[in-house]
Amino acid sequence: MIIFPDLPHIEVEGVEVAEEITVTLRTLSPIASCPSCGRASSRIQSRYTRTLRDLPAVGHPIRLIMHVRRFFCTKSTCVQKIFVERLPELCHPHAQRTKRLQEALRRLGLSMGGQRGADVGNEHGINGSRDTILRLVHQSDLPAKSEPHVIGLDDWAWKRRMRYGTLICDLERGLPIDLLADRTVETVSAWLEKHPTIDTISRDGSSEYASAIKKGAPQAREVSDRWHLVKNLAGCVSVVLASCLTQLRRAEVVAAASVEQVEQSSGEPPSYQRTRAERRAQRARQAERQARYEQITALHNQGMKSAEIAAVVGMNERTVRHWLSRGDLPYAGPRKPRSSPLDPYKTYLLERWHQGCRSGAQLERELRAKGYKGSQKAIYRCLATLELFVSSPSRRSSAEARSETESQLHPLLALSAPQATWLFFRKEEDLKAEEQENLRQLRQASPDLETAYQLVKDFLHMVRELSGERLEEWLDKVEASHLQAFQSFVTGVQQDKDAVLAGLTLVWSNGPVEGQVNRLKLIKRSMYGQADLELLKRRVLHHDKKSLERKNKKKQAQQQDHLEISRGRKKNTNSKHTTPLISKVA
Ligand SMILES: [Zn+2]
């Protein structure tokens, strides 16, 4: 009885090995118990054959042909007159698969989803269709309800910007414990009310979760998540950096445009190939638009309305809304040189210039006689550029050279606002030499940037060392700096101060929840948008023993680290915890 060690009352009658292994079995027990009343009976009514699929052996699927019996129930009052003998160790009543095969399929479904699980299973002789697997997953029990003490809340998107759910993690065990269909105050507070053992809740800065906690778990201490704090701070800083980079780029646009204008005004035959200056002006314009776009999205992510954003960045509100609704930057192709009433007369003007006529008034009279209807200003502007560049080739080339060295002098122009922000938020000793140079130049580019840098550094120090006692002092420094961009961050901190203080003091953070949200996203994506909440919940909450053991080992190591930090405030050990937090900033 090698393949059925736990079934002493079954005898193997025969084994047939082909593509599939067929094992014929017979039940031996002289009695069976009635499933309705429980009384044992030995009166056999009839026999029949039942076919079951089992786990494969040496790569071959196994089919069991079972000879089982029907019994009479001997209790006269029992509603069931005849019953079939059961094999509870082997299979469920009426099932077509053994329990262990069902379990294997269910596990495949939980870790891979229906279709993928079916495909992988079939390759290994564990046969079951997608629908069978999904049915087994739905029938499985959810992990036993726990009584958590420390939890983390975070939202996850059913559909980006449209519909959000809530993921709840037990932070002490580092495990997801529930998935809620939305993130409303009603749903979340109702869940919290059912879990009165909770005493600490880590959450992001959202006011909805804060209200839900006040309503559903007023006993709990709220912890504002450090990563979200750093992320919000990074949002503010990137606005400062974006506007600074925008100024630098605008200066570049002006410089490049003047060269472009001269090359057009100099009357050179129109060339279909764009000149270097045109290309550079185009690049500078595009970079400037990109910077503005980044600034707009950063402000939008901070919850600013289109009208406010438009006022801050100095753009039309409709354009702001258009850019935001597109979700990316509309590409502005090469700009056509603006046509001017002077255009048809430029060749004549240049000719007269080369003949030595420098008088604006004289040239205007000549042009008017030829039918020029434009402004006097346009003529003078054209003459000024000719004066500057055309008359003296040496001056022209030096002007060009100057603007080129300028763009070389500003490696900062190659930085995007998020890249620049990244420089501010990483540890200085982790930066490469080139990055350190960029950071140095950024800090020198304006006093505001230097102040912003120092404030960021102080804040990150609090985050890394969990020294929340210095928060008050930091807020005073921000106030003294008069930096507008930090105001929204400070307002947020003031409104949520107890939780922020807890976040900068306690070891709890939403890190594990974020990890689970990422896992959820992966699972959701693998289900090609066909996930319903129940299925998703079963898959997200499922953890097999091995991965749990691995996780626990890792957690113990981390706790050891935390102990070392809190004991000795060691300089190097804590970087491990904050680097992943901040790495998302970039
Ligand atoms: Zn009975």
Ligand 1: centre distance to CA 26 (Å): 23
Ligand 1: centre distance to CA 52 (Å): 26
For position 523, what pLDDT does the model report? 86
Ligand 1: centre distance to CA 540 (Å): 42
DSSP-derived pairing of the beta strands 10-17 and 21-27: antiparallel
Ligand 1: centre distance to CA 559 (Å): 57
Ligand 1: centre distance to CA 4 (Å): 28
Ligand 1: centre distance to CA 65 (Å): 27
- What is the phi/psi pair of residue 102, to 5°? -60, -40
For position 570, what pLDDT does the model report? 41
DSSP of 435-446: HHHHHHHHHHH-
Ligand 1: centre distance to CA 45 (Å): 14
Ligand 1: centre distance to CA 48 (Å): 20
Ligand 1: centre distance to CA 495 (Å): 68
Ligand 1: centre distance to CA 176 (Å): 44
Burial of residue 102 (CB within 10 Å: 0-12, 13-18, 19+) is buried
Determine the 3-state secondary structure of 56 from DSSP.
Answer: strand
Ligand 1: centre distance to CA 72 (Å): 8
What is the longest distance spanned by two Cα atoms in the chain? 130
Which tokens go with 122?
A: 């079939």
Residues with Cβ–ion distance below 5 A, ligand 1: 34, 36-37, 73, 75, 78, 80
Ligand 1: centre distance to CA 38 (Å): 6
Please answer whether residues 411 and 420 qualify as being in contact, where contact means their C-beta atoms are separated by less than 8 angstroms: no
Ligand 1: centre distance to CA 85 (Å): 12
Ligand 1: centre distance to CA 32 (Å): 11
Model confidence over 408-430: pLDDT tens digits?
A: 446 677 777 778 888 888 888 88
Residues (pLDDT < 50) of the chain are: 1, 268-273, 390-399, 401-409, 569-586
Ligand 1: centre distance to CA 97 (Å): 26
pTM for the full predicted model:
0.61
Cα dist. 188→149, 183, 192, 341, 419 in Å?
Answer: 16, 6, 6, 67, 37
Ligand 1: centre distance to CA 289 (Å): 81
Number of other CB atoms surrounding residue 401 within 10 Å: 10
Ligand 1: centre distance to CA 136 (Å): 30
> 535 CB contacts (<8 Å, ≥6 apart)?
134, 137, 138, 527
